[in-house]
Amino acid sequence: MSSTTPFLPSTLPLIPLPPPQVLYPHLRVTLPLRPSHLAVVLSSIAENAQNQKIEDGARLVGVVPVVESERRIGRWACATAQPSTPSKSQTPEDLQPLETLRDRRAAELSRPARTAIDRELARLTKIPPQSAEYGVAKTYVEWLLALPWKRVTTLDTEVDLEQARKRLEEDHEGLEKVKRRVVEYLAVYRLKKQLYLEQLQKCKQISLPTSKGDGRAALDPSTADDLLELIPPTSERRRSKREMPLQWRARVLQTASFGTRDRSSSSSIARSLAASMGRKFHRISLGGVRDEAEIRGHRRTYVGALPGLLVQGLRKVGVSNPLILLDELDKVGTSNFHGDPSAALLETLDPAQNWTFHDHYLGDVPLDLSQVTFVATANTTDTISPPLLDRCEVIECSGYVMDEKVRIATRFLVPKQVKENGLTMDMVRIGEEAVLKVVTDYTREAGVRSLEREIGKLCRTKAVEYSSARDKGQLSDYNPEISVADVERILGVARFDQEVREEVHRPGVMTGLAYRGSGTGGILLIETTLVPGGKGRLVLTGSLGDVIKESAELGLTWVKAHAVQLGIVSHSHEDPLKDVDLHLHLPSGAVRKDGPSAGVGMVLAMVSLLTGRTVPSTLAVTGEVTLRGAVTAVGGIKEKVLGAHRAGITKVILPKRNFKDVQADLPQSMRTQMSFAYVGTIEEALEEVWGRDVWAVKGGARVEARL
């Protein structure tokens, strides 16, 4: 090295730079000769030291110039630091709060979480703080310490069922199925919790038979608010000393799916359920989620990785047994190159698996979700995958009836809108007649969102009138009452025409029932007529789908087969439609219609046309008909019957298999105001309309038609 000293400054940019300790003695000789290379030397030294900082721990602390005033010769001192690997006793200051928090929460952490935290903290003491991996590992430890592994909301065992039922009645109108299910859950929870506490008082340690292998008890190991250590037999205890906590499980309502047309009602039901149970509430919106990582999290190898929505929710509420609302479950994205989010929810909602839920961000640390009560909401179950739907207990929430909407508006919506618009109940009064006018003529929905908006318009108009009267000093002329005429003046012309039955029917016209798909139902006229000069064809109009067309063809086939018994023809070889065509039409041609539920109504309309008998205008019918003349069940009974009641129908013919739907879904007041006839065959439906006189042949229809 000494022989090449005079040439060192000129060759510095071309050769590798020696360590500073070796280079420093020669700099004192070369720098006075070639001061122009001073900047190159210093930058090369700094760059070399910076690279070695990452590779082998050598860290450049500083390059300090010392100027000798007499000789004015630049002298530079280069200092290096020791490798940045602190010992266990030399914990960085930013890690001390994490260790303190770990020690304080040691009893609340699960065993895998404690192991992972200790491992990562040990790694952090060996990683330079300037390294990117240092921040990743530190954030991971912070997430593990922030999760509520064993922290739960302690619920009162003396749950007052009457008080819970009263609270649900005060917060929600109708929805009897949901209220009944919530009360059932609370009752079962109280009984199981009391039984568990009694067993806990009797024993501190018990011995259980173990499964093969590791000596674990034959129970699902998981954590809970109260832990009971189960000690295996002595022979097995030597082989395995692992803790075996017994979890008390009261997940009667692990996952409930509220299928409703009104999102606000299903969300508010979940909030009321959480309040009745005394649990914390968290909402997760799944609408538009199309990446599996949104549910299960991202792996830590990605920049900016985070846990999934479930883990984030548990950290936010701070307990491991909250009530989590999975909103818009039916709008989860489909399978694509990002994965299938609905498939990621399978483990979450499965009680047999979710006690060891694995989030990608948490790695090999399982998270217990068994104490979480999941409530999912959906508008329809058609778009939910069958395996996911199989893990849910579906509770159907149908639309509100007219009377329920009026009560909801009077009790909740009107006071809410009055307050939001800066008014008081003395400044504006909306009577039931005005509310009924808004419900029937300005809204047509299953829920009450549009109804609330219309009431808000009424309140804002009265706010303007009140302010104007006060500015003019004419408050005595202000009228706070909103009448039916005021509703028409403020909201304008009615948007919907109320369905009203026809007063008189002619032969060939029958009133059917329709489900409109938006949580509402109504009546649907079925019109038939004969066209002379035809060839016995069946003409169908009214924007009909394939299923309803097949129902019409099937009904005509049945009528032709029983034409003699009905007195349409005198001999079986005669054609009832000889030289004529039968035209069947369903009004509202712009509205698409489909489904098999109009089958019975079509048969009755054809029989009415071909026999010349009229059908009472106060009677309506729904049901699917088979080729043998059997009447099978259909859906949407509640909505159809409510629509018929609004139209003035007093009697409804339904399939026998829909008897349970009437008893379960319709309120008692509706069942007393209307009469229902349940039939199992077309013959029974014909006799219900016209009596036994419908048969021209003594003895009625042929026996084989009833098979």
The label of the residue with tokens 């618009």 reads 421
Given this model, what pLDDT does residue 279 score? 86
Picking from 557, 558, 635, 559, the residue whose alpha carbon sits closest to that of residue 596 is: 635
Given this model, what pLDDT does residue 84 score? 40
Is residue 523 scored above 50 in pLDDT? yes
Query: Given 272, 342, 597, 608, which residue is catalytic?
Result: 597
Given this model, what pLDDT does residue 696 score? 67
Q: Which of 65-69, 85-89, 634-638 has the highest mean pLDDT?
A: 634-638
What percentage of the chain exceeds 90 in pLDDT?
A: 28
Reported as a single tens digit per residue, the pLDDT across 577-635 is 989 999 999 998 888 899 999 999 999 999 999 999 999 989 999 999 999 999 999 98
Q: Which of 193-207, 259-273, 311-325 has the highest mean pLDDT?
A: 311-325
- What is the pLDDT of the chain when averaged over all its residues? 77
* Cα–Cα distance measured from residue 534 to residue 129, given in angstroms and rounded to the nearest whole number: 92
Picking from 205, 235, 208, 206, the residue whose alpha carbon sits closest to that of residue 219 is: 208
Fold of 402-491: Helicase, Ruva Protein; domain 3 (1.10.8)
Cβ neighbours of residue 573 closer than 8 Å, sequence gap 6 or more: none
Does residue 53 have an active-site annotation?
no
Residues 418-425: contacts with CB under 8 Å, at least 24 apart: 418/459, 420/456, 420/459, 421/456, 421/459, 421/460, 421/463, 422/463, 423/459, 423/462, 423/463, 423/466
Q: List every span in the chain annotated with CATH 1.10.8.60.
A: 402-491
Query: Given 179, 193, 437, 640, which residue is catalytic?
Result: 640
The label of the residue with tokens 């006793």 reads 89
Binding residue per annotation — 118? no
Q: Where residue 293 falls among pLDDT bands split at 50, 70, 90?
A: confident
Q: What is the mean pLDDT of residues 322-343?
A: 82
Binding residue per annotation — 614? no
Is residue 85 scored above 80 in pLDDT? no
Does residue 597 have an active-site annotation?
yes
Q: What pTM was computed for the model?
A: 0.64
Binding residue per annotation — 263? yes
Given this model, what pLDDT does residue 225 score? 37
Cα–Cα distances in angstroms (integers) from residue 696 to residues 584, 613, 700, in the given order? 25, 13, 8
Q: List every span in the chain annotated with CATH 3.40.50.300.
A: 255-397
Cβ neighbours of residue 222 closer than 8 Å, sequence gap 6 or more: 245, 247, 355, 356, 368, 370
**Cα–chain center distance at 138:** 34
Q: What is the mean pLDDT of residues 559-570?
A: 91
Q: List every span in the chain annotated with CATH 3.30.230.10.
A: 509-706
Region of poorest pLDDT, from 40-44, 117-121, 544-548:
40-44
Binding residue per annotation — 267? yes
Q: What is the 3-state secondary structure (H, E, C) of 137-172?
A: HHHHHHHHHHCCCCCCCCCCCCCCHHHHHHHHHHHC
Q: What is the mean pLDDT of residues 203-229?
A: 43
Is residue 278 scored above 60 in pLDDT? yes
* Cα–Cα distance measured from residue 412 to residue 424, given in angstroms and rounded to the nearest whole number: 14
Structure-block tokens of residue 366: 């399982």
Q: What is the mean pLDDT of residues 431-445?
A: 88
Given this model, what pLDDT does residue 20 score? 56
Binding residue per annotation — 89? no
DSSP E strands, 498-598: 509-515, 521-532, 538-541, 580-585
Which homologous superfamily does the CATH classification assign to the domain defined by 255-397?
Answer: P-loop containing nucleotide triphosphate hydrolases (3.40.50.300)
Pairing, β 373-378 against β 59-67? unpaired
Binding residue per annotation — 646? no
Compute the C-alpha angle 510/515/519, nearest 5°: 150
What percentage of the chain exceeds 70 in pLDDT?
A: 74
Fold of 509-706: Ribosomal Protein S5; domain 2 (3.30.230)
Is residue 214 scored above 90 in pLDDT? no
Is residue 654 scored above 90 in pLDDT? yes
Structure-block tokens of residue 249: 């499980």
Structure-model confidence comparison of residues 434 and 247, the more confident one: 434
Given this model, what pLDDT does residue 558 score? 95
